[in-house]
Chain A
Amino acid sequence: MPAIEFKNVSKIYRRHGGQRLLREHLSDWFGRNPDKNFYALNNVSFTIQPGERVAIVGKNGAGKSTTLSLIARLSFPEEGRVKVEGKVAALLELGSGFHPDLTGLENIKLNASLLGFSRKRTFSLMDQILEFADIGDFVREPLRTYSTGMVMRLAFSVAVNLDPDILITDEILAVGDAAFQAKCLDRISQLWKSGKTLVSVSHGTVIRQLCDRAIWLDHGKLIMDGDASDVFEAYGGQPSGPA
């Protein structure tokens, strides 16, 4: 059974120049207005098997983040079908889902529960999470007192230690010092060695080295899907791409 399956998926947003007046809502409900539609994804199909490590590449606005939001079940396609099997941990945007006024510990508990962990499991994993994040006594301080790097360490630590079946990463590894990056990569490779699926849209080279397959999107359309080195070559001639 594939871990992720996209079948003729389109994600359509409506353009409305930032304004949503009553008139717009009414015209939405009674009769479509196709020339105002914007296809963030346009008829995209692919399947990802468990244990695959997939990089999604493409320019800004190509539909990468939209794809991740669909995999994470945060949004739903207007057309086509998305099937996802297993627990997804999404590292989308640094420390989002954290609240600045809560302490590190409180944020860990809140996030773990939202990600679907029982109270018991969260407490049994707590030491592991804290050890990985390695931010010391700061866990008892409100998050707003943290440095960017510390927030990222905490966010990453929660996501990877919660034993996801599918790990989705955005630009997250761009932050953090070299030592922590190495630790994260180590943890990610551990995850895929135990059969976890990894999907990444990182522009950085570090994550890409881990991937064995790549999907190239452009303007919401799938351009190329195949072996990572082939796609990277076609996309930009070098692993980092022209981005």
Chain B
Amino acid sequence: MKWKGEYLFVLRNLVLKDFRIRYRNMSLGVFWSILNPLVMMAVLTFVFTKIFKSSIRDFPLFLLCGMVPFNFFAMAWGSSTTSIVDNTGLIKRVPFPREIVPIASVLSTTVHLATQILLTVVFTLAYGKGVNINWLWLPVVWGLAVVFVCGLGLICSGLNVYLRDMRYIVESSLTVLYWLVPIFYDFSFIPAKYRDIYSLNPIAALVMAQRNIFLQARPPAESLLLKLSLSSVGMLVVGLIVFQKLKRRFYNYL
């Protein structure tokens, strides 16, 4: 027997569920997703302009272009990794395509992302940068990023069922990544011999694209778009294949 439901309806309900559960009992609700980066921005701006005397212009905006992709990545990767285990009740009791769970978990963080992109837009305008045609690249770049995290989330959520240490691996990796992604420094600071490694990192690519679009008003480099597309689609395909293998025995281990 094959499941004959409506994928979009399930996805919608699961995304709404995640979203409601996350915000229902908070008095500030979605406002947190604006407050949090603002506070971080203020602290980092203080450290890097008053203490370290960074030469970067429009530092708060520059920082925001790096923080928003990282925040999205951290939240989406983290919540999708635990999504299957978090939804044990559903997985053990209702037969539906399990792939939807980590994907819904990633998509529910895009609301968070949207508010943060809006914040970036507000800051861009406040710094007098104005709107430019290259903003049209934003949906493309972000779309690819979401696809990438969906693939990664599928793999990690499936593994997390068997190896519950997965979430700690993810948490540690994020701490490391925070320093290795150019959030508060520029690509030009990176010595040439390490640049190739950086260009393989999709979050770094995302940061670069954000800065191209918002700060320099130019389209992201073609090579960047190509690498990002390949790694995103590749990750999703690998994710679906791995998940397919892992999901058969979820019931036994949950």
Contact = CB atoms under 8 A, between A and B. Distances in A.
A97 B20 contact: no
Interface string B1-20: 10111100110111011001
A118 B9 contact: yes
Contacts of A110: 13-14, 17
Interface string A76-91: 1000000011111010
Interface in A1-51: 13-14, 20, 22, 25
Contacts of A86: 1
B13 to A, nearest CB: 4
B114 interface: no
A238 to B, nearest CB: 31
Contacts of B251: 69, 74-76
Contact of A25 (B89, B94, B163): B163
**Secondary structure of the A side of the interface?**
loop
Contact of B5 (A25, A88, A102, A118): A118
A178 interface: no
A72 interface: yes
A85 B13 contact: no
Given A72-B95, A74-B93, A96-B93, A101 B21 contact: yes
A99 B21 CA distance: 9
Given A75-B252, A86-B1, A111 B94 contact: yes
Contacts of B12: 113
A88 B95 contact: yes
B195 interface: no
A200 B252 CA distance: 22
A72 B93 CA distance: 8
Interface string B74-116: 0000000000000001111111100000000000000000000
A13 B252 contact: yes
B14 A96 contact: no
Contacts of B89: 96-99
A99 B25 CA distance: 14
B21 A74 contact: no
A106 B252 CA distance: 29
A180 B249 CA distance: 37
Contacts of B253: 20
A144 B7 CA distance: 28
Interface in A91-140: 92-93, 96-99, 101-102, 106, 109-111, 113-119, 122
Contacts of A87: 1, 4
A208 B134 CA distance: 68
Interface of A: 13-14, 20, 22, 25, 69, 72-76, 84-88, 90, 92-93, 96-99, 101-102, 106, 109-111, 113-119, 122, 142
17 contacts: A72-B95, A74-B92, A75-B251, A87-B4, A96-B92, A106-B13, A109-B13, A110-B17, A113-B6, A113-B10, A114-B5, A114-B10, A115-B94, A116-B3, A116-B4, A117-B9, A118-B5
State the 5 A-B residue pairs at the shortest beta-carbon distance, nearest first.
A75-B251, A116-B5, A73-B95, A96-B93, A110-B13
Given A110-B13, A110-B14, A113-B12, 9 more contacts: A20-B163, A22-B163, A73-B95, A96-B89, A96-B90, A114-B5, A114-B10, A117-B9, A118-B6
